[in-house]
Structure 1
Amino acid sequence: MCDDEIHPGLIQDPTLSRRKFGLLAAAMTGVATVAHADDAVEEKDVEIKTPDGVADAALFYPKGKGKWPAVLMWPDIWSLRPVFRQMGRRLAAAGYVVLVPNLFYRTKKAPVMEGAMNFADPKDRDTIMALAKTVTPTTAVVDAKAFVAFLDTQPQTNKAEPIGTQGYCMGGPLAFRTAGAIPERVGAVASFHGGGLTADGADSPYLLIPKTKAAYLVAIADNDDQRDPASKDKLKAAFAEAKRPATVEVYAGANHGWTVPGSQAYNEASAEKAWSELLALYKKALA
């Protein structure tokens, strides 16, 4: 995993509770979004066999009878933890079967870090970067195929519809790689403050765009854009050349990590805007 896919200075609270998450959402939307999602959604801890071992993950889907499009949600560098469970519930409540895997199952079950985590702290940084290096372009393809196959075995999944995949921070490139690995299945890709999407090298995620059949949403953090302003132009050019429908947008004033409640950079207004854009993408592309 390229260091460019990780932004320094992040502070995350992996123990963010349902109540805290609900208060954050209610403060922005005026409704108890998460409490409603918990009432409407089934949640299961699952284990998924892959060629490299057994991955721990969380599965969410709407309560009641029915079938819904599936979504593979790739978390950020801190991997599967309470806040991403809450995000999975929220998306499932909108009418999707959602899988949130532990990125680092080859090394450690989730949660992979305990307590507040600061990327600026050398000990925390060294620990999480050692885990991040276990995720490579090769393992990403192995995992994407296994996770999508698992979703397609679920009785709640509507296999007649394409699946969506979304990623945060280092999960952004993983979403791109999922679309490249299973183009006939993936209909929508979303990246939120994804790092290294246009990194140098033959295995750069954006080079997979011509192989895919998906529509894209790429939401870029303001400070990431300042660090690499050419990246968005490379993405736009690649999407245009491949004739892939895509929205590439820099979120002014929103820094890396702004979509994840509990992070130092969390920005409620911009996070809700990004969430609305995500639902609009899925409504159009996964129907």
Structure 2
Amino acid sequence: MAKQDIQIKTRDGVAKAGMFRAAGASSSKAGIILYMDAFGPRLALDGMAERLAGEGYAVLVPDLFYRNAPYGPFDAKTAFAVETSKAALMALVSGTTQEMTISDGGAFIDALAGEGVTGPIGVVGYCMGGARALNAAATYPDRIKAAASFHGGNLASDAADSPHRKAASIKARVYVGTAGVDRSFPPEQSARLAEALRLGEVDHTIENYVGMAHGWCVPDHSVFDATGAERHWKRLTTLFAETLG
């Protein structure tokens, strides 16, 4: 597996990113943008990107917190248990708005094009990246053909930038995998999202992973669940295979 460290020029600066491809692959017709969780780009996400790249895609993992770099690193198992790192993380998350990431999305798509990806694009986000993946699909419907969120928070909140409000703009197929009990995405939000997607005539699935906790997909999380993670991989790779070709 080949990882290339690249820099992406955005309206607000330069974002570092990892570009992943299968070894020996000089081009990929389809690309994937992996929207990170709150702990930032790191080895755990690299490994997930490599697994997707093994399916034949060019996979981009941008640093969404680049406006505040340098920061961290954070230990996903303990960061929220220590007050100093928790405060730093919350400042990064709240200080990186949905609108900022939406604006960055065009530059991310251009970065894939610069690597020869001219075909369809899929997006997947974890934790804070889930809502960002859905908002990206609503903003760039001509390019993004599949969007997935796993343990994404606030997908249908009262906030003005909640992605459910833009559901009618989404042309991608959508898959949302929710943790069985997740305060950041309670049942009332799930129902609100389902209604918005259905009214918007979006091809979608919302699946509840009973017994899983927020973060179950990512291997360095304290609540990582290997069986649940493999179920997530099966759903994700099927979604991309059926939509990206």
TM-score band, normalised by the shorter chain? over 0.9
Determine the structure 2 residue equivalent to 1:174: 132
Q: Is the 8 A contact 1:222 1:254 kept in 2?
A: yes
Report matched runs for 1:85-104 at 5 Å.
85-104=46-65
**Cα pair distance change 1:101/1:117, threshold 3 Å:** farther
Determine the structure 2 residue equivalent to 1:61: 21
Match of 1:213 among 149, 171, 174: 171
Determine the structure 2 residue equivalent to 1:253: 211
1:120, CA displacement in angstroms?
2.5
User: SS at the partner of 1:250?
Assistant: strand
Pick 1 or 2: higher relative contact order, CA cutoff 8 A, min separation 6: 1
Q: Distance in 2 between matches of 1:64 and 1:98?
A: 12
Per-residue deviation, residues 51-104 of structure 1 (Å, max 9, x unmatched): 100101100012234433100000100010110011111100111100001111
> Is residue 2:120 matched to residue 1:162?
yes
Q: Is the 8 A contact 2:153 2:184 kept in 1?
A: no
Match of 1:267 among 214, 225, 244: 225
Q: Size of the alignment, in residue pairs?
A: 243
Determine the structure 2 residue equivalent to 1:83: 44
Q: After the TM superposition, which segments of 4 or more aligned residues of structure 1 sit over 3 Å from their partners?
A: 114-117
Report matched runs for 1:1-287 at 5 Å.
41-62=1-22, 63-109=24-70, 112-115=72-75, 117-155=78-116, 157=117, 159=118, 161-224=119-182, 228-287=186-245
**Cα pair distance change 1:114/1:233, threshold 3 Å:** closer
1:113, CA displacement in angstroms?
1.8
RMSD: 1.6
TM-score (norm 1): 0.81
User: SS at the partner of 1:106?
Assistant: helix
User: SS at the partner of 1:119?
Assistant: helix
Q: Distance in 2 between matches of 1:108 and 1:285?
A: 35
- What code does the residue aligned with 1:286 have? L
Gaps of 5+ in 1: 1-40
Q: Distance in 1 between matches of 2:85 and 2:28?
A: 41
Per-residue deviation, residues 207-240 of structure 1 (Å, max 9, x unmatched): 1110111001100001117971112211211121
Per-residue deviation, residues 152-187 of structure 1 (Å, max 9, x unmatched): 1112x2x1x320000000000110111122111110
Larger radius of gyration: 1
